[in-house]
Amino acid sequence: MAKTAEINPAAAPPSVGAAQVPQSPGAITAQSVAFPVLVSLSFCHLLNDLIQSLIPALYPLLKEQFSLDFAQIGIITLAFQITASMLQPTVGLVTDRRPQPYSLAAGMGSTLIGLLLLSVAHNYTTVLIAAALVGTGSAIFHPEASRLARMASGGRFGAAQAFFQVGGNVGQAVGPLLAAFIVLPRGQGAIAWVSLAALVAMAVLARLGKWYGERTRPTHAKTQSASTQTPLPRARTLFLVFVLMTLLFSKNVYSASLTSFFTFYLMERFSLPVEAAQIQLFIFMASIAVGTLVGGQLTDRIGRRPMIWISILGTLPFTLLLPYASLFWTSVLTVMIGLLMASAFPAILVYAHELMPGRVGLVSGMFFGFSFGLGGLGAAFMGRLADSHGIPFVYQVCALLPAIGVVAWFLPDVSREKRERAAV
């Protein structure tokens, strides 16, 4: 018989400011926020994504050391991100039925092994295996961490998801700096020092796993079926999930063009040294962190649908201008692009949670995983495009991707339609 989790408020220790939540993890309406838990989750997300962002930041080193072309660079991104994409929905589905509190620490162990392997890799195949192990760790981390953030949210789902996500954004911003000023000058072996971040994250996640485990217990299948009733008909729910996935496509493929090839673009077009190009990448990543945090707050205030409209379609003028901008305006435009694009993800994820209540792990796994997969496929495709037509051409093609955001027109007000159906 399928099992789900029930939150036990009585078990909450005073040290973490336990939130009072109902039985279903998919329908949490807590009145207080377990803020220390959110801080710890965001910190671990910072460390997790710092490690992830280290891989593309090392591309100049790997390209020179192993004589790689841009297509092979894109395949490294694909190896990392496709692993995460394939595993995350499965992890989410399993943990919806039977929560695994200590899987967070175990997943970080896979990341640790991948880092150590990357630090001693002597051929391209080993680099791909190491990248895939880091992707596996990320696949295990995101669904359960997202569920835990929702449990600790106090009902402010958008803000909690944004606070959790902003840790990852900060980690992604710091990674290129770590590579530029510590790893690249010292060579491939210095990657092993980054494994200390994975060890710290494992210790914190083990502590969070204890907190999480004390608040979950099996409940009856009828509780699960009551909590997972979708607010809209099944066929329409599936269509709206497809629309949300399409929005992620427009967002993440463009983001992959910046995270994977932006340093090469700056070095080729403006003749920047690699350290200066990495600083520009850091500025872009920092704007993503700010955009995510602001987007989560605005999502709770103005609603999911308006936030999606603003964040994706609002990016289009800036992406169209970017391929023709000077160095100064390139910096300005990438900041605007990062701010706007990043604000979409909390709104998209919370909207999907509302569409499929009681399936927090599955939904989070699907959307985090789909994001990784799109980024990997987009990077691999654009690597081939860059080899054949040059990197500037990649940004001319990708400039039109935010126009896909017009499909947000199909998204209804889920809360209003749920109330209307209940009144009939």
Q: Per residue in 232-242, pLDDT tens?
A: 788 888 898 88
Read off φ and ψ for residue 5, nearest 5 degrees.
-115, 145
Residue 415 clears pLDDT 50, i.e. is over it: yes
Q: Please give the pLDDT value at position 216.
A: 66
Residue 386 clears pLDDT 80, i.e. is over it: yes
Residue 4 clears pLDDT 80, i.e. is over it: no
- 254 — pLDDT class (breaks 50, 70, 90): confident
Q: Please give the pLDDT value at position 230.
A: 63
Q: Which amino acid is at 224?
A: Q
- 223 — pLDDT class (breaks 50, 70, 90): very low
Q: If you count DSSP H runs as helices and E runs as strands, how many of each does the chain have, helices first?
A: 18, 0
- For 93-143, the pLDDT digits (tens) are 777 777 777 888 988 999 999 999 988 888 999 999 999 999 889 888 888
Cα-based distances in Å from 28 to 7, 124, 168, 210, 407: 9, 46, 23, 20, 29
Q: Worst-scoring range by mean pLDDT, 17-26, 60-69, 173-182?
A: 17-26
Is residue 114 within 8 Å of 130, Cβ to Cβ?
yes
**Segment holding 107, helix H or strand E:** helix 103-120
Q: Please give the pLDDT value at position 2.
A: 38
Distance of alpha carbon 190 from the chain centroid: 26
- 336 — pLDDT class (breaks 50, 70, 90): very high
Q: Which fold has domain 32-423?
A: Growth Hormone; Chain: A; (1.20.1250)
Neighbours of 189 (CB within 10 A): 10
Is residue 143 within 8 Å of 91, Cβ to Cβ?
yes
Tokens of 80: 């990392």
- 371 — pLDDT class (breaks 50, 70, 90): low
Tokens of 56: 């593309």
The mean pLDDT value for 54-68 works out to 83
User: What is the overall mean pLDDT for the chain?
Assistant: 78
Is residue 89 within 8 Å of 358, Cβ to Cβ?
no
The mean pLDDT value for 409-415 works out to 78
Is residue 260 within 8 Å of 56, Cβ to Cβ?
yes
Is residue 359 within 8 Å of 26, Cβ to Cβ?
yes
Calpha distance 220→31 (Å, rounded): 25
Calpha distance 80→124 (Å, rounded): 13
Domain boundaries defined on the chain: 32-423
